[in-house]
Amino acid sequence: MRIGELAQATEASPRALRHYEQAGLISSERASNGYRIYDERAVVRVRNIRCLLAAGLTLDDVRVFLPCLDGEVAAAPPSDKGLRVALERLAVLNERIAAQTEARDRLEAALRHGAGVRIHSAAFPGVSRPRPKN
């Protein structure tokens, strides 16, 4: 199948597919006209790559899972290296979430306590309107 067909079957953009190929996660043959031709098994592999990326892993992280990308990634028993990579990525994501939560809380507090700042709760969910001063 050509790149457009693989993109449609996996809901990945052709650009993403070329990126996965450049990263060594998928491979293609070249037709006589230079078009990339992918094996039917690439559909499962790309879907698994996208699943792992959606879970917060990076392309470098996904390389650890190469041996099981052609099957059911979620059903395969995790390797020690795969578990280590996933736990490390989880720690990084938790750190980022904590930093973003702190930044949001500081901004929310500044807006809530700022002089003359009017916030409409519908426009800014999670931010309450400052109370008028008596």
CATH code of residue 45: 1.10.1660.10
* pLDDT surpassing 90 at residue 78: no
- Considering its fold, how many domains does the chain have in total? 2
User: CA end-to-end span of the chain, whole Å?
Assistant: 71
pLDDT one-digit tens code per residue, 28-73: 999 999 999 999 999 999 999 999 999 999 999 999 999 889 888 8
Q: Are 45 and 26 in contact (CB under 8 A)?
A: yes
The pLDDT of residue 125 = 59
pLDDT one-digit tens code per residue, 80-107: 999 999 999 999 999 999 999 999 999 9
Domain of 3? 1-56
Residue 98 lies in a domain: yes
Number of neighbours of residue 77 by Cβ within 10 angstroms: 6
> 0.85 exceeded by the pTM?
no
Pair (51, 82) in one structural domain: no
Residue 61 lies in a domain: no
Q: Are 6 and 17 in contact (CB under 8 A)?
A: yes
The pLDDT of residue 132 = 54
pLDDT band at 75 (very low <50, low <70, confident <90, very high): confident
